[in-house]
């Protein structure tokens, strides 16, 4: 008769004497193992992921972008990149997503507008069938690519942070991952980074080594414009790791940039200033509507009010986290509807059609 090893016998006695706690522990370990296994299977082999793409008719570029002047020409080799990032598996862009990219492409005809999406499979030459991809392909300077996070973070302090297998359990993981991506993109490549809830009004390339003030207390990283390998962005990556807290909303984003900028400029409070080659832009530049007043985006404004509001504005942040569930009348005199109409007319035409 085989005898049970003494260590296993002791473990069995412990389990039997603490049944509820032992059962909970074993279930927890099993679920953790299964979840981690599933997590790595999905992330290690993006080609194996299945997608339920919506099928839609191809966009007629001549119809939606009628003038050759509206279609960007070949990007200039000397011009920088404009980056957008989608860190979720989402591959069905919203109207706002499409408008953000379209408006950036129109405002930066000589630049490459690079859209990085985690949900796109590596090595697959064709994009999913979706109206937004068809529409954005009308602009020769728009490039939509898979987001390879392992490759992106390699050679930076954030690689080790990213590879911790339980990272995705944190409540704000996708937002924090987006924060990480923008810092690394600015560090490695430079150029302009924009969140996918911006509508671009004017060319942003005159802003170099700059970011925007969102209110009296904080900066925001929804817009960044930096030269590659800039010391300020290097300090942001260091702070990201050294003072990491993924459980507090904004700690790795606006709060991080505010911490670093205050040290950089030896400030106690945030103000519009340029110091050591880095500029904090006044709120009207890219955050003309404070997040507390996001509902104003859905209120009617006259043409004169719109002109006055946007006189010194280069882009408008739509605060999608707060505004995404609000109904927008199309067409209407609502501020947001007028922004769509003027700065992303192809997306606006699709909205009216739908």
**Given a cut of 90, is residue 80 above it in pLDDT?**
no
Q: Is residue 60 one of the residues assigned to a domain?
A: no
DSSP for residue 265: H
Residue 81: φ, ψ to 5° = -95, 150
Going by C-alpha positions, the residue among 322, 255, 261 that lies closest to residue 290 is 322
Alpha helices per DSSP H over the chain: 6-17, 19-44, 61-64, 95-107, 131-136, 149-153, 158-163, 173-188, 231-242, 254-265, 283-286, 303-309, 320-323, 335-343, 345-353
- State pLDDT tens for residues 203-217: 999 999 999 999 988
> Domain count of the chain?
1
Q: Is residue 312 one of the residues assigned to a domain?
A: no
Both structure tokens of 241? 């790791």
CATH number at residue 264: 3.90.550.20
- State pLDDT tens for residues 262-303: 999 999 999 999 999 999 999 999 999 999 999 999 999 999
Q: Is residue 340 one of the residues assigned to a domain?
A: no
The pTM of this model reads 0.82
Question: What DSSP element (H or E) covers 68?
Answer: none
Q: Is residue 226 one of the residues assigned to a domain?
A: yes
pLDDT, position 59:
72
Query: What DSSP letter does each residue of 184-210 carry, written as one string?
Result: HHHHHT-EEEE-TTEEE-S--TT--SE
Alpha carbon dihedral 290, 291, 295, 298, in 10-degree steps, equals 70
Higher pLDDT, 10 or 223: 223
pLDDT, position 232:
98
Q: Are strands 198-200 and 315-317 parallel, antiparallel or unpaired?
A: antiparallel
Q: Is residue 66 one of the residues assigned to a domain?
A: no
Going by C-alpha positions, the residue among 71, 68, 73 that lies closest to residue 110 is 73
Enclosing domain of residue 106 = 77-283
């Amino acid at each position: 008769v085989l005898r049970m090893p003494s260590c296993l016998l002791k473990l069995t006695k412990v389990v039997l004497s603490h049944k509820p706690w032992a059962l909970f522990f074993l279930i927890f370990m099993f679920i953790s193992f299964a979840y981690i296994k599933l997590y790595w299977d999905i992330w290690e082999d993006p080609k194996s992921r299945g997608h339920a793409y919506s099928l839609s008719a191809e966009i007629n570029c001549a119809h939606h972008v009628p003038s050759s002047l509206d279609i960007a020409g070949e990007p200039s080799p000397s011009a920088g990149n404009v980056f957008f990032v989608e860190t979720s598996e989402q591959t069905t862009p919203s109207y706002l997503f499409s408008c953000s990219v379209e408006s950036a492409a129109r405002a930066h005809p000589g630049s490459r507008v690079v859209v990085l999406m985690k949900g796109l499979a590596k090595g697959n030459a064709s994009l999913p069938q979706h109206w937004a991809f068809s529409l954005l392909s009308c602009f020769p300077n728009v490039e939509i690519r898979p987001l390879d996070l392992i490759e992106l973070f390699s050679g930076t302090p954030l690689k080790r942070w990213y590879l911790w297998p339980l990272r995705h359990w944190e409540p704000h993981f996708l937002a924090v991952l987006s924060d990480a991506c923008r810092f690394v993109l600015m560090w490695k490549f430079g150029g302009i980074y924009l969140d996918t809830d911006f509508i671009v009004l004017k060319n942003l390339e005159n802003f170099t080594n700059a970011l925007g003030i969102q209110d009296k207390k904080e900066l925001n990283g929804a817009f960044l414009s930096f030269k590659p390998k800039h010391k300020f962005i290097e300090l942001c990556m260091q702070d990201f790791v050294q003072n990491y807290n993924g459980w507090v909303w904004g700690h790795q984003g606006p709060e991080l940039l505010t911490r670093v900028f205050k040290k950089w400029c030896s400030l106690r409070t945030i103000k519009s200033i340029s110091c050591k080659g880095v500029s904090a832009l006044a709120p009207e530049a890219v955050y003309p509507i404070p997040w507390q007043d996001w509902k104003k985006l859905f209120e009617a404004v006259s043409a004169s009010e719109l002109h006055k509001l946007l006189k010194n504005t280069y882009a408008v942040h739509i605060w999608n986290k707060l505004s995404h569930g609000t109904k927008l009348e199309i067409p209407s005199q609502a501020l947001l509807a007028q922004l769509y109409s003027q700065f992303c007319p192809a997306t606006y035409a699709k909205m009216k059609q739908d």
